[in-house]
Amino acid sequence: DPDALAVTMERCRSDALQAFGNGDVYVARLFPRARHVEVQILGDGTGAVSHLWERECSLQRERQKILEIAPAPFLDEGIRERLLSAATTLASAGRYLNAGTFEFLVDCDSGAFAFIEANVRLQVEHPVTEEVTGIDLVKAQLEIAAGATLAELGLTQRNIPDPRGFAIQSRVN
């Protein structure tokens, strides 16, 4: 309720100050029908960054991913291009050095998306990306850590293949 926003924000500030000693709060945009999409990237610390496409991990239980699918089956090409560009732009601006995953929420209705976080490591779900690209991410990560550039490894964006088919990883609880 937009009319109750000022009162609600003040209550949140008061609760946060009491609980944490800091009354700072922020408002995040609501995506009522959202998908969780992560973009796998490699960066060599020079500003050179390549994406290895994306994975969808919307099906989760208690913050654990249950199903990981590469590439994300619901994305249209326009949203996919904007999402991949956002991830590589963020990583390049920070001169990212490593394999990593940039995570986003994507609104199913509007196609808008919001950055969630960057995981500056390989995630347990990385094999689905390896399956659709044929690129060994563990090997690439170790070679980058040893000082190799993406160009030296043949992993510049123009050398990253389009995804071949789909790969799915499932967690059994």
**Catalytic sites, residue numbers:** 121
CA dihedral over 109, 36, 119, 52, signed as positive or negative: negative
Q: Which two tokens stand for residue 171?
A: 């967690």
Task: HSE, CB side, 13 Å, CA atoms: give it for residue 104.
Answer: 27
Distance from CA of residue 143 to its chain's centroid? 22
The SS3 assignment for 114 reads: strand
Beta-bridged to residue 102, according to DSSP, are 39, 118
Sheet of 113-119, strand order: 113-119, 97-107, 34-44, 49-56, 67-70, 167-170
